[in-house]
Amino acid sequence: MVRIPSNIQDLVSYKPGKPVAQIVEELGLKEWAVLWNNENNLGPSPKALSEIQKALSLSHLYPDPSAEKLCSLIAQDNDCTLDHVTVDNGSESVFDCMLRALFEPGDELLTCEGTFVAVYIWAKANNVHCEKIPLAEGYQFDIDQLIASVGPKTKAIYVANPNNPTGAMIRRSELERLVQSVPEEVIVIVDEAYFEYAKALSNEYPDSFQMRRPNVITLRTFSKAHGIAGIRVGYALGPKPLIESIRKVRMTFAPSHLSQAAAVGAIQDAEHVQKTVVVNREALRQFYAALEQAGLNYTASFGNFVMVDLGTEEAAKQFAETLLHKGLFIRHLRAFGLPHCVRISTGTEDENALLVRSLESL
């Protein structure tokens, strides 16, 4: 009998729930809003769709393995050269490549509990021990404790800024303190999946790549503000030696031809991104007001979602179920290690209005 490695045996396969269309039919919903995956419900950029259309006729060809056009645009936006950029099928795939390229047996990844659940999954899949410390008050990354927890086995520290699913932000001064306090041989991975949203919401939001540190890697994605989550494109920015190491282990022809084309269009559509962040800012304002009126505890967010603390797992499950019957698809955060909380993404103006009406009727 073939032996499956214990780290893989211990992983739980992803089990998707019922399709939205099936739930809509079963509950007889007349209106609904899918607000559980932090997607951009305004949809993809028209320029992204245009570039995809142009690329369709080239679908019989392999894509550019270096994604030079896309990487050049990313480099241009971040005032760097191609040596500092790599792309893949979403930032999650870039993170997986980092674990394979930069970690050796016995190395440790240090992070906090209650952050992006895929970090724990990919660490275990790659046989990397993940040391987790509790979040600080306000569901913040505990910067002081992260610094104090660095040990001889620590190869990297992972922080999400803002954090998913809590929405909490690490301010510029705090991130600088973290980076300056750890040894240069310890990599600081800063996941900025919600970069465009956070930058529009706070002047204190730091661009980690602009620190230009030899041990800082910045992760970003086209899945959020750019609205092409289903096409899967993410990227890393960082020092040349680390980026080159990540490139060595990535799939040769990733992202796909159509994915590269979509991202090329999306990155050039500043108007679409601006519209997205404006709608999101107004949505968060409406959500906060409705949640306060309903007497519910929430965490101020710097992403395109808000986390609500219901106190107990049972209350959180009941809250999610109640909203589901009103047509609101939201995320219960049990899998994130926060079973007493739910996360609600922002959507279109009509979808946001449906949530506000539903909260008012509770």
pLDDT by residue for the chain (362 residues), tens digit each?
898 888 888 878 776 778 999 999 998 999 999 999 999 999 999 999 999 999 999 999 999 999 999 999 999 999 999 999 999 999 999 999 999 999 999 999 999 999 999 999 999 999 999 999 999 999 999 999 999 999 999 999 999 999 999 999 999 999 999 999 999 999 999 999 999 999 999 999 999 999 999 999 999 999 999 999 999 999 999 999 999 999 999 999 999 999 999 999 999 999 999 999 999 999 999 999 999 999 999 999 999 999 999 999 999 999 999 999 999 999 999 999 999 999 999 999 999 999 999 999 88
Q: Which two tokens stand for residue 326?
A: 């009103």
Dist. CA 77–CA 74, nearest whole Å: 5
SS3 at position 221? strand
Asked whether the beta carbons of 222 and 40 are under 8 A apart, the reply is no
Pull the structure tokens for residue 85.
């950029």
Quick one: pLDDT at residue 50?
A: 96
Instruction: Please list, in sequence order, all residues whose beta carbon lies within 8 angstroms of the beta carbon of residue 126, skipping any fewer than 6 positions away.
Output: 96, 99, 100, 103
Task: Detail the DSSP E strand segments found in 193-304.
Answer: 216-221, 234-237, 297-299
Go through the domains of the chain in sequence order and give each one's CATH number. Answer: 6-44+271-360 (3.90.1150.10), 46-269 (3.40.640.10)
Residue pair 90/234 in contact by the 8 Å Cβ criterion: yes
* DSSP character at residue 166: T
Distance CA 80, CA 27 (A): 52
